[in-house]
Amino acid sequence: MTVQADRGIDTQVAMTAAFSEMQRLHDMLSRYRIGNPVHALHLAAGVQAVPVTPEMLSVLQMALQRSQQSGGTFDITVGAFTGWDFSQSAGVVPPADEIARELPLVDYRQLVLDEKKSTAYLRRRGMRIDLGGIAKLPILQAGMRVLKDHGIRNAMLNGGGDVLVSGQLQGRDWRIGLRDPRSPEQILGTVSLREGFVAASGDYERFFMRDGQRFHHILDPQTGQPTRGPHGVALISRTLEDINGLGAAIMVAGAAAGRAMLKPLQSVDALIVEPKLGLWLSHGMAQRLRS
How far apart are the C-alpha atoms of 39 and 3, rounded to whole Å?
Answer: 34
Average pLDDT (60-83) is: 96
Q: Are residues 99 and 170 in the same domain?
A: no
Query: Strand order in 172-180's β-sheet?
Result: 168-169, 172-180, 183-193
How much is the pLDDT for 182? 80
Average pLDDT (104-129) is: 97
Range of the domain at 127: 26-133
Average pLDDT (267-280) is: 90
- Assigned domain for 143 exists: no
Q: Are strands 119-122 and 111-114 parallel, antiparallel or unpaired?
A: antiparallel
- Assigned domain for 14 exists: no
- Assigned domain for 283 exists: yes
Give the residue from 265, 272, 277 showing the smallest Cα distance to 251.
Answer: 272
Given a contact cutoff of 8 angstroms between Cβ atoms, the answer to whether 226 and 217 are in contact is yes
Q: What is the pLDDT of residues 17-67, one digit of tens each?
A: 999 999 999 999 999 999 999 999 999 999 999 999 999 999 999 999 999
Average pLDDT, the chain: 94
Q: Are residues 192 and 90 in the same domain?
A: no
- 77 C-beta neighbours (distance < 10 Å), count: 25
Q: Are residues 190 and 259 in the same domain?
A: yes
Average pLDDT (227-251) is: 95
How much is the pLDDT for 275? 81
How much is the pLDDT for 111? 98
How much is the pLDDT for 6? 85
Domain count for the chain, please give it: 2
Residues in contact with 185: Cβ distance below 8 Å, sequence separation at least 6, in sequence order: none
Q: What is the pLDDT of residues 190-223, one digit of tens each?
A: 999 999 999 999 998 888 888 888 899 999 999 9
CA distances from 53 to 47, 130, 149, 242 (A): 19, 16, 22, 23
Give the residue from 86, 65, 64 showing the smallest Cα distance to 77.
Answer: 64
User: Which of 99, 133, 167 is the last residue in one of the domains?
Assistant: 133
How much is the pLDDT for 212? 85
User: Which of 75, 100, 133 is the last residue in one of the domains?
Assistant: 133
Least confident of 57-66, 109-118, 266-275: 266-275
Given a contact cutoff of 8 angstroms between Cβ atoms, the answer to whether 67 and 76 are in contact is yes
- Assigned domain for 3 exists: no
Query: Is residue 147 over pLDDT 80?
Result: yes
Q: Are residues 71 and 108 in the same domain?
A: yes
Average pLDDT (147-157) is: 96
